[in-house]
């Protein structure tokens, strides 16, 4: 007798459903999409056996000992139609498509293990103790569900789409899993003594590591758990409520800050708000409504930050807003323009170049920050009248390295360290209107504390402008003029 046929007939005889039989025959994704055709092509069932009402009734006769009814095709078909009609799904307008997250009880692994021991003994020429005997339950289910969702929703499977969450539970799971502690008590003794172990009885990873035919005693297992497994009281899996999670969208752009009394992000100290509004909140309020989320859900990142009293001019500072559970995944041109106009109406902040970007693009914001150059313009004041010699000393064309001990003003939130930073160039100009003032243009490595570069922070930064010109000097106003980051792409609207 053909080996495939022998395996199929045996598994059917112990109440494995047709889908689980195909799993143990290592069926392909395409075969799971059309079970009848796959069985007929493999010569496992005749066409008349798999068609019509008789086939449907045959499927429902007994609950499968392997999947506990998970592969009831009528139940699976109902998932696709329910998703399409679900009010929560209909609120998403995502062109990318969908993806699935299916939660299954660990007891299915236990039942797979029992069948594994069984087929090892009955078909040793086909199955081995070191290789899983089947296609994983979740993989087979996804092949079927994804195909049906694509047909029902007329949208493709995509990792950037709306996640369809499908949970399954089993009423007798704890009772069945309790046997594991008798089969391999050492595993659970170690888990209980390990403070890092999760509170659950056993995790999926722990099961796959400790409960395989090569890891446990087969004779002991057979004494404590039925081989092949059986369906007690015809209790199968129960499907929970469907839920949905929108994609995480990333919006990039550049912002200008024109106010000297506005923080970049909400400024809180000991739970108390220190300042009304922020750059982040001004931008988020304009962007969040289009994506159907609260502005408080948005996560703001930028290429560095400026102090409250520092303006950010020029082309602006690159930033990204991360938008979880977005209800839309597109940003039409007219909507982007409206967002930019709304932010501009604040008179304190402006944004440009708003666009969708990919997660992998965030490396521009979050990586290699120290390699970037920043361009500043500082209005400095001295205790003595500015001289030509001072101006000459502060015209430096060659890069130099300074050491900055964490400034006193940020020591409460920054680690105490000495940081080397490179200043690439300095150019000073005396002010005609004020003999005690000069304008200084500075190009420095990202992460340089410019205020401390000027006044030395009581000698904690050196060399400083104070040490270079030999007299006291401080900053009256500071502007960020440019950031050496050619990202995101410029869009001239």
Domain with CATH 3.30.70.2510 in the chain: 249-366
Domain with CATH 3.30.70.3190 in the chain: 373-483
Q: For the domain covering 373-483, report its CATH number.
A: 3.30.70.3190
Asked whether the beta carbons of 469 and 394 are under 8 A apart, the reply is yes
Angle at 310 between CA 308 and CA 314, to 5 degrees: 130
What tens digit of pLDDT does each residue of 408-458 get?
999 988 899 999 999 999 999 999 999 999 999 999 999 999 999 999 999
What tens digit of pLDDT does each residue of 130-150 get?
999 999 999 999 999 999 999
Task: Give which of 312, 1, 326 is closest to 160, Cα–Cα.
Answer: 326
Q: What percent of the chain has pLDDT over 70?
A: 94
Measured in degrees and rounded to the nearest 5, phi and psi for residue 234 equal 55, 40
First-to-final CA distance of the chain: 73
CB-based burial label for 314 (10 Å; 0-12, 13-18, 19+): middle
Residues 276, 174: Cα–Cα separation, whole Å: 53
Asked whether the beta carbons of 455 and 383 are under 8 A apart, the reply is no
Per DSSP, the three-state class of 467 is helix
pLDDT, residue 231, reads: 85
pLDDT, residue 44, reads: 94
Given the residues 15, 160, 295, 307, select the one marked as catalytic: 307
The region that residue 52 occupies, defined by phi over 0 for left and psi between -120 and 50 for alpha, beta otherwise, is left
Asked whether the beta carbons of 393 and 469 are under 8 A apart, the reply is yes
Residues 127, 121: Cα–Cα separation, whole Å: 9
pLDDT, residue 56, reads: 39
Q: Is the peptide bond before 463 cis (omega within 30 degrees of 0)?
A: yes
Q: What's the CATH class of domain 249-366? A: alpha beta
- Evaluated on CA atoms 305, 309, 314, 320, the torsion sign reads positive
The predicted model scores a pTM of: 0.86
- Evaluated on CA atoms 114, 132, 209, 32, the torsion sign reads negative
Residue 307 annotated as catalytic: yes
Asked whether the beta carbons of 96 and 54 are under 8 A apart, the reply is no
Q: What is the DSSP letter of 72?
A: -
What tens digit of pLDDT does each residue of 204-249 get?
999 999 999 999 999 999 999 999 999 877 789 999 999 999 999 9
Residues 300, 251: Cα–Cα separation, whole Å: 10
What tens digit of pLDDT does each residue of 61-116 get?
689 999 999 999 888 999 999 999 999 999 999 999 999 999 999 999 999 999 99
Task: Give which of 13, 39, 11 is closest to 27, Cα–Cα.
Answer: 39
């Amino acid at each position: 007798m053909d080996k495939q046929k022998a395996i199929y007939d045996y598994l059917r005889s112990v109440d494995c459903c047709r889908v689980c039989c195909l799993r143990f025959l290592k069926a392909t994704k395409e075969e799971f999409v059309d079970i009848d055709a796959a069985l007929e092509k493999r010569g496992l069932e005749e066409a008349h056996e798999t068609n019509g009402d008789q086939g449907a009734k045959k499927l429902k006769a007994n609950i499968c000992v392997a999947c506990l009814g998970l592969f009831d095709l009528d139940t699976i078909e109902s998932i696709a139609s329910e998703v399409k009609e679900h009010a929560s799904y209909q609120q998403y307008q995502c062109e990318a498509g969908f993806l699935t997250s299916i939660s299954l009880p660990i007891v299915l692994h236990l039942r797979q293990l029992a069948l594994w021991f069984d087929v090892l003994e009955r078909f040793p020429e086909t199955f081995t103790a070191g290789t899983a005997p089947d296609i994983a339950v979740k993989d087979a289910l996804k092949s079927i569900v994804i195909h049906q969702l694509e047909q029902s929703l007329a949208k493709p499977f995509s990792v950037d789409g709306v996640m369809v969450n499908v949970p399954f539970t089993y009423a007798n799971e704890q009772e069945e899993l309790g046997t594991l502690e008798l089969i391999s008590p050492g595993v659970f003794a170690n888990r209980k003594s390990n403070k890092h172990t999760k509170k659950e009885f056993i995790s999926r990873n722990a099961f796959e590591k400790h409960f395989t035919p090569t890891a446990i005693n087969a004779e002991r297992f057979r004494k404590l758990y039925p081989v092949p497994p059986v369906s007690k009281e015809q209790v199968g899996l129960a499907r929970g409520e469907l839920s949905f999670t929108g994609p995480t969208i990333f919006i990039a752009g550049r912002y200008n800050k024109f106010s000297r009394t506005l923080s970049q992000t909400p400024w809180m100290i000991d739970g108390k708000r220190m300042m009304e509004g922020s750059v982040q909140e001004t931008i988020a309020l304009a962007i969040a409504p289009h994506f159907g989320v609260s502005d408080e859900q948005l996560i703001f990142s930028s290429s560095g930050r400026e102090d409250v009293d520092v303006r950010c001019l020029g082309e602006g500072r690159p930033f990204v807003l991360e938008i979880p559970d977005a209800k839309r995944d597109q940003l039409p041109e007219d909507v982007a323009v409206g967002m930019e106009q709304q932010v501009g109406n604040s008179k304190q902040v402006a944004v440009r170049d708003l666009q969708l970007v990919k997660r992998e693009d965030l490396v521009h914001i979050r990586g290699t920050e120290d390699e970037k150059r920043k361009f500043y313009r500082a209005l400095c004041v001295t205790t003595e009248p500015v001289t030509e010699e001072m101006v000459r000393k502060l015209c430096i064309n060659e890069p130099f390295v300074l050491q900055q001990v964490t400034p006193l003003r940020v020591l409460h939130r920054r680690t105490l360290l000495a940081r080397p930073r490179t200043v690439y160039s300095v150019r000073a100009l005396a002010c005609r209107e004020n003999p005690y003032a000069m304008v200084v243009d500075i190009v420095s490595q990202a992460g340089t504390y410019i205020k401390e570069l000027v006044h030395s922070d009581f000698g904690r930064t050196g060399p400083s402008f104070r040490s270079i010109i030999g007299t006291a000097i401080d900053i009256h106003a500071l502007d960020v003029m440019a950031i050496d980051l050619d990202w995101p792409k410029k869009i001239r609207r």
